[in-house]
Structure 1
């Protein structure tokens, strides 16, 4: 089966937050994305709330529960105590844990699994008690030992960081090398029984190759490029374009 599409709403929230006004509506555009065929919605509630606000989470949970009960809520972030409490209140279908410093502009590296075994084991166990799927952010060239630790701490999936691949938008030779790293890491994760997600700087133009190279790909989470495209094509048509790139019917 082709990978599912989860629409990251952070860029929409950032645009809204420029003014003390309720538009663009994060929930409204999330509704359009889901109606157009997106499998889920992703948010990354950072401590300073510069993108998604904590108050958005109950509204998005209600949107999914009331109108799209077969879709998924994915909340990503660094597992601080405050973040974990937000997750416990929102009860998402998936939590994606990233090793971000609060000052980072965006996620830009995977976990150093061997350094955080005990920490991640405790956090993942706490999340699994909620019944949520847990995905851990991983470098595109994570080796078998690192991925084995991801499985050992209880993760269901890893999300491969595709930023280096996305950065090669003007260099096809370099992009091919980065894609090969992703392919090998995904194959290793699948052999170990881990599901494979991917995200960061994915576009309609570069997504087809990722989907073709990683048959085990379960889900992609896309926000920045998808939001930029939505300004040009509208949210519904943009979602359909990304679904087509994944090989999914709209």
Structure 2
């Protein structure tokens, strides 16, 4: 079954609008994990507009104390601050993204040909410290050989175009095939595959039914939108149903 990691950035973004302690990021993580999520994801940006280093540390405490079998996935651009933080909190997985600090959200993968040497050095350092490493990638099969040369364990395929095609079945099928080709190429290079961005419950089901080898999906925005209607625990259960769809 594909693992579900709940991205908590939306909760922190909402909290930061008023500088109140609610919604409580740790409490929401606890609900998601108790409902069956395999882990939580955070992307602590330098401007601290959503999750902050203090949130990441608090989540590590939660996992150690209550959910020692679950994972903390920390995303971000590999600047010294992020690398220091992931080492401090013993992130189980580090997902490296090529974001400019001003970007609203991750919207493209690494240029492995031009940035591969830099990434290889960062990946090697992270793996020496015991972290599993995933690299954010566009769904392009031709990129996977270069991605593998970095020494990374996984790639996270950017599913934004697939998620954005929800009202256009032809475009959705086209994007799904791009993802499938990229996933097959990654597997051929010895890379495991994660996926994430704009995945709804139905989109997640379609994705995993087509690509059952996906190891993990990281989902935040759409999941929190559903949680406004169904509550966090029930929403996690709905997504877990989609993650198990390939087995049904």
Same fold (TM over 0.5): yes
* Structure 2 equivalent of residue 53 of structure 1: 52
Root-mean-square deviation (Å): 1.1
**Is the 2:133–2:153 Cα contact (8 Å) retained in structure 1?**
yes
Shift in Å at residue 142 of structure 1? 3.9
How many residues are matched? Answer: 246
**Is the 2:159–2:197 Cα contact (8 Å) retained in structure 1?**
yes
Asked if 1:224 is matched to 2:221, the reply is yes
The one of 146, 167, 170 equivalent to 2:167 is 170
* Structure 2 equivalent of residue 138 of structure 1: 137
Query: TM-score if structure 1 supplies the norm length?
Result: 0.96
The one of 195, 210, 215 equivalent to 1:213 is 210
Query: TM-score if structure 2 supplies the norm length?
Result: 0.97
- Using the TM superposition, name which of 240-249 and 173-182 deviates more: 240-249
Where do 4+ consecutive residues of structure 1 move more than 2 Å?
A: none
Aligned with 2:40: secondary structure? strand
- Residue by residue over 1:157-194, the C-alpha shift from the partner in whole angstroms, topping out at 9 and shown as x without a partner, is 00000000000011111100000000010011011110
- Residue by residue over 1:15-67, the C-alpha shift from the partner in whole angstroms, topping out at 9 and shown as x without a partner, is 11111211100000000000000000000000000010111111000000110
* Structure 1 equivalent of residue 27 of structure 2: 28
Aligned with 1:197: secondary structure? strand
* Structure 1 equivalent of residue 38 of structure 2: 39
Shift in Å at residue 126 of structure 1? 1.1
Shift in Å at residue 247 of structure 1? 1.3
In structure 1, how many angstroms separate the alpha carbons of the residues matched to 2:185 and 2:121? 24
Aligned with 2:53: secondary structure? coil
The one of 227, 230, 235 equivalent to 2:232 is 235
In structure 2, how many angstroms separate the alpha carbons of the residues matched to 1:58 and 1:166? 31
- Residue by residue over 1:115-149, the C-alpha shift from the partner in whole angstroms, topping out at 9 and shown as x without a partner, is 01221011101111110100000101241xx2122
Aligned with 2:215: secondary structure? strand
**Is the 2:145–2:189 Cα contact (8 Å) retained in structure 1?**
yes
Shift in Å at residue 199 of structure 1? 0.2
**Is the 2:193–2:215 Cα contact (8 Å) retained in structure 1?**
yes
In structure 1, how many angstroms separate the alpha carbons of the residues matched to 2:231 and 2:212? 29
Aligned with 2:129: secondary structure? coil
- Residue by residue over 1:97-117, the C-alpha shift from the partner in whole angstroms, topping out at 9 and shown as x without a partner, is 000000000000000001012
* Structure 1 equivalent of residue 153 of structure 2: 156
In structure 2, how many angstroms separate the alpha carbons of the residues matched to 1:39 and 1:191? 26
* Structure 2 equivalent of residue 121 of structure 1: 120
Written as runs of structure 1 = structure 2, the 5 A alignment for 1:101-116 is 101-116=100-115
**Is the 2:141–2:186 Cα contact (8 Å) retained in structure 1?**
no
In structure 2, how many angstroms separate the alpha carbons of the residues matched to 1:77 and 1:71? 20
In structure 2, how many angstroms separate the alpha carbons of the residues matched to 1:7 and 1:209? 19
In structure 2, how many angstroms separate the alpha carbons of the residues matched to 1:187 and 1:56? 36
In structure 2, how many angstroms separate the alpha carbons of the residues matched to 1:209 and 1:226? 16
* Structure 2 equivalent of residue 188 of structure 1: 185
